[in-house]
A = this chain, B = another copy of it.
């Protein structure tokens, strides 16, 4: 399916079902894709942070891409994360994405080697030149330790092959500014702006952002789709009610652990409790077990209730 311009709605940053740490569980991947499409999501983004992309080996990433393409079958646009420390391997993944019928690739920039803004801009432009597919940027400073500055986004948004940005900084003001500087300014009226944290999706969409790339839509896709529609329509009563449910879910499922891995361990464990996949993570993270798993199970029961 070709990429809507701009892309609007809920894009699921898909969990990667694993049968062993680092090994993709391909049947479960197909099932999970069917689950979120049935819930009404407007796109699927594989191999992002929620999908543990950078933690998977090159071969596992290729298998994941091929299977996701086959399973999605063009029902919704497929975006493929190609964030990698090595430029050449990122390009290999972009070609695999094209072969699988994906609509776009997504890059958070390089990791490991720290980059200044001009180096980050050069990376993105070069990647756009080498990629057979359109490119989304992914602002993820907690993991890449660099933020796409507003000036950098304005500059790369002039490259037609670069089509949008997902922001996971948690700073909604950054998106308010990008809306002004990139979209409304006329620099690139069709540039897509999406927000990562689901806890901020309603307000961002209400004020002009195009949609959300929200992890919780792996679990309960309809909740996020409904909230997106309420926000886009400016239905305040519905927004308040559904936003409350999203915050409740977030507080129950993403803060059980004691480290920065709480989100990822929590959402995968929750998906396992829902029967969507096995509770297996790639290194460096370990799945919740014992008391932590029980807490997630109890919360899932409460949320389903």
Q: Is the CB of B199 within 8 A of A203?
A: no
What residues of chain B lie closer than 8 Å to A119, measured between beta carbons?
A: 259, 261, 284-286
Q: Is the CB of B22 within 8 A of A87?
A: yes
Please tell me if A9 contacts chain B, counting CB pairs below 8 Å. Answer: no
Task: Enumerate 16 A-B pairs (CB-CB under 8 Å) in ascending A order.
Answer: A55-B112, A56-B86, A57-B87, A58-B89, A87-B282, A112-B144, A113-B261, A115-B260, A119-B284, A119-B286, A123-B283, A126-B283, A172-B203, A173-B197, A177-B247, A180-B251
Q: Is the CB of B57 within 8 A of A207?
A: no
Most chain B CB within 10 A, of A59, A203, A260, is at: A203
What residues of chain B lie closer than 8 Å to A52, measured between beta carbons?
A: 113
Number of copies: 4
Q: Which residues does A use to contact B, with CB under 8 Å? A: 21-22, 49, 52, 54-60, 83-89, 92, 109-116, 118-120, 122-123, 126, 142-145, 170-173, 176-177, 180-181, 197, 199-200, 202-204, 206-208, 234, 236-237, 239-240, 243, 247-248, 251, 258-261, 264, 282-286
Q: How far is the CA of A81 from the CA of B283 in the complex (A)?
A: 18
Top-9 shortest CB links A-B = A203-B203, A57-B88, A234-B236, A116-B259, A87-B283, A54-B85, A54-B112, A111-B112, A110-B284
What residues of chain B lie closer than 8 Å to A260, measured between beta carbons?
A: 114-116
Q: Is the CB of B207 within 8 A of A203?
A: yes
Shortest Cβ distance from A264 into B: residue: B113
CB distance from A10 to the nearest CB of B (A): 18
Q: How far is the CA of A173 from the CA of B144 in the complex (A)?
A: 21
CB distance from A262 to the nearest CB of B (A): 10
